[in-house]
Chain A
Amino acid sequence: MADKKKPVVNYELCMACGICSGDCPLSCIVLRKTDIDRYQKAYPVLDEYYRCTGCTRCAKACPMDAIQMI
Protein backbone atom coordinates (compact mmCIF):
# COMPACT_ATOMS: atom_id res chain seq x y z
CA MET A 1 0.00 0.00 0.00
CA ALA A 2 2.82 2.37 0.80
CA ASP A 3 3.79 2.82 -2.84
CA LYS A 4 0.33 4.16 -3.76
CA LYS A 5 0.04 7.87 -4.32
CA LYS A 6 -1.55 9.72 -1.41
CA PRO A 7 -3.33 13.08 -1.32
CA VAL A 8 -1.37 16.13 -0.24
CA VAL A 9 -3.21 19.35 0.48
CA ASN A 10 -1.92 22.68 -0.71
CA TYR A 11 -3.04 25.02 2.07
CA GLU A 12 -2.35 28.09 -0.06
CA LEU A 13 -5.30 27.17 -2.25
CA CYS A 14 -7.44 25.24 0.21
CA MET A 15 -10.63 26.98 1.38
CA ALA A 16 -11.43 24.43 4.11
CA CYS A 17 -14.79 23.64 2.53
CA GLY A 18 -14.72 20.01 3.62
CA ILE A 19 -15.72 18.54 0.27
CA CYS A 20 -12.71 16.20 0.28
CA SER A 21 -13.45 14.82 3.72
CA GLY A 22 -17.13 14.46 2.89
CA ASP A 23 -16.43 12.62 -0.34
CA CYS A 24 -13.70 10.28 0.90
CA PRO A 25 -15.33 6.83 0.90
CA LEU A 26 -13.29 5.73 3.91
CA SER A 27 -13.29 9.04 5.80
CA CYS A 28 -9.50 9.11 5.87
CA ILE A 29 -9.37 12.89 5.51
CA VAL A 30 -10.41 14.72 8.64
CA LEU A 31 -10.93 18.43 9.19
CA ARG A 32 -8.87 19.31 12.23
CA LYS A 33 -5.85 21.45 11.36
CA THR A 34 -6.71 24.81 12.86
CA ASP A 35 -3.48 26.76 12.70
CA ILE A 36 -3.66 27.81 9.04
CA ASP A 37 -5.62 31.04 9.25
CA ARG A 38 -6.60 33.45 11.98
CA TYR A 39 -10.22 32.31 12.01
CA GLN A 40 -9.28 28.90 13.45
CA LYS A 41 -11.00 27.20 10.57
CA ALA A 42 -10.50 23.46 10.43
CA TYR A 43 -8.44 22.43 7.42
CA PRO A 44 -8.22 18.90 6.05
CA VAL A 45 -5.50 16.45 7.07
CA LEU A 46 -4.95 12.91 5.83
CA ASP A 47 -5.46 11.27 9.19
CA GLU A 48 -5.31 7.60 8.31
CA TYR A 49 -2.39 7.28 5.96
CA TYR A 50 -2.45 3.50 5.79
CA ARG A 51 -6.17 3.13 5.20
CA CYS A 52 -6.10 5.51 2.25
CA THR A 53 -6.29 3.54 -0.96
CA GLY A 54 -5.26 6.41 -3.19
CA CYS A 55 -8.58 6.40 -5.04
CA THR A 56 -8.15 10.08 -6.03
CA ARG A 57 -11.76 10.93 -5.30
CA CYS A 58 -10.76 13.80 -3.03
CA ALA A 59 -8.41 15.23 -5.62
CA LYS A 60 -11.08 15.07 -8.32
CA ALA A 61 -13.75 16.52 -6.08
CA CYS A 62 -11.74 19.49 -4.83
CA PRO A 63 -13.17 22.57 -6.53
CA MET A 64 -9.97 24.51 -5.88
CA ASP A 65 -7.67 21.78 -7.29
CA ALA A 66 -5.76 22.05 -4.04
CA ILE A 67 -5.16 18.32 -3.60
CA GLN A 68 -2.38 16.56 -5.45
CA MET A 69 -1.65 12.86 -5.42
CA ILE A 70 2.02 12.48 -4.56
Chain B
Amino acid sequence: MKVQVFPPPIASLTHLDEDGMMILPPGARLLTVYRRLKIPLVLQPLLICHVNYQRVKLSTPLKHGDVISFMLPLAGG
Protein backbone atom coordinates (compact mmCIF):
# COMPACT_ATOMS: atom_id res chain seq x y z
CA MET B 1 0.00 0.00 0.00
CA LYS B 2 1.02 3.56 -0.64
CA VAL B 3 0.73 6.54 1.68
CA GLN B 4 1.56 10.18 1.17
CA VAL B 5 4.08 11.60 3.63
CA PHE B 6 4.94 15.23 4.32
CA PRO B 7 8.22 14.77 6.16
CA PRO B 8 9.86 17.15 8.63
CA PRO B 9 13.26 18.59 7.62
CA ILE B 10 15.25 16.33 9.93
CA ALA B 11 13.92 13.16 8.36
CA SER B 12 15.75 10.71 6.17
CA LEU B 13 14.20 10.72 2.72
CA THR B 14 15.53 7.43 1.42
CA HIS B 15 12.20 5.59 1.61
CA LEU B 16 10.24 8.32 -0.18
CA ASP B 17 9.86 8.81 -3.91
CA GLU B 18 9.92 12.30 -5.42
CA ASP B 19 6.19 12.86 -4.88
CA GLY B 20 6.56 12.07 -1.20
CA MET B 21 4.89 8.65 -1.45
CA MET B 22 6.01 5.77 0.73
CA ILE B 23 5.26 2.13 0.03
CA LEU B 24 4.46 0.18 3.17
CA PRO B 25 3.72 -3.47 3.85
CA PRO B 26 0.08 -4.23 4.71
CA GLY B 27 -0.74 -3.74 8.35
CA ALA B 28 1.99 -1.14 8.88
CA ARG B 29 1.53 1.36 11.68
CA LEU B 30 2.46 4.98 12.12
CA LEU B 31 5.48 3.82 14.10
CA THR B 32 6.81 2.18 10.93
CA VAL B 33 6.76 5.54 9.18
CA TYR B 34 8.69 7.10 12.06
CA ARG B 35 11.30 4.37 11.84
CA ARG B 36 11.68 4.65 8.08
CA LEU B 37 12.06 8.42 8.28
CA LYS B 38 14.67 7.81 11.01
CA ILE B 39 13.05 10.32 13.32
CA PRO B 40 14.38 9.89 16.86
CA LEU B 41 11.45 9.10 19.13
CA VAL B 42 12.71 11.62 21.67
CA LEU B 43 11.67 14.33 19.25
CA GLN B 44 8.26 12.81 18.85
CA PRO B 45 6.51 15.10 21.37
CA LEU B 46 7.91 18.16 19.58
CA LEU B 47 6.60 17.15 16.19
CA ILE B 48 3.00 17.14 15.33
CA CYS B 49 1.94 14.26 13.21
CA HIS B 50 -1.48 13.97 11.67
CA VAL B 51 -3.01 11.16 9.69
CA ASN B 52 -5.71 12.45 7.37
CA TYR B 53 -5.70 15.69 9.40
CA GLN B 54 -6.60 14.06 12.67
CA ARG B 55 -4.29 13.42 15.60
CA VAL B 56 -3.73 9.75 16.15
CA LYS B 57 -1.64 7.40 18.27
CA LEU B 58 1.64 5.89 17.09
CA SER B 59 0.13 2.45 17.05
CA THR B 60 -2.60 3.36 14.58
CA PRO B 61 -2.73 1.00 11.60
CA LEU B 62 -2.51 2.80 8.26
CA LYS B 63 -4.44 2.18 5.11
CA HIS B 64 -3.87 2.84 1.43
CA GLY B 65 -4.06 6.51 0.46
CA ASP B 66 -3.59 7.95 3.93
CA VAL B 67 -1.98 11.36 4.23
CA ILE B 68 0.62 11.59 6.98
CA SER B 69 1.78 15.11 7.66
CA PHE B 70 4.42 16.44 10.00
CA MET B 71 4.42 19.96 11.31
CA LEU B 72 6.64 22.48 9.60
CA PRO B 73 6.22 26.22 9.63
CA LEU B 74 6.01 28.59 6.68
CA ALA B 75 7.18 32.11 6.11
CA GLY B 76 4.60 34.81 5.88
CA GLY B 77 3.46 37.90 7.48
- Asked if chains A and B are in direct contact (CB within 8 A), the reply is no
- Measuring CB to CB, which residues of chain A are less than 8 angstroms from any residue of chain B? none
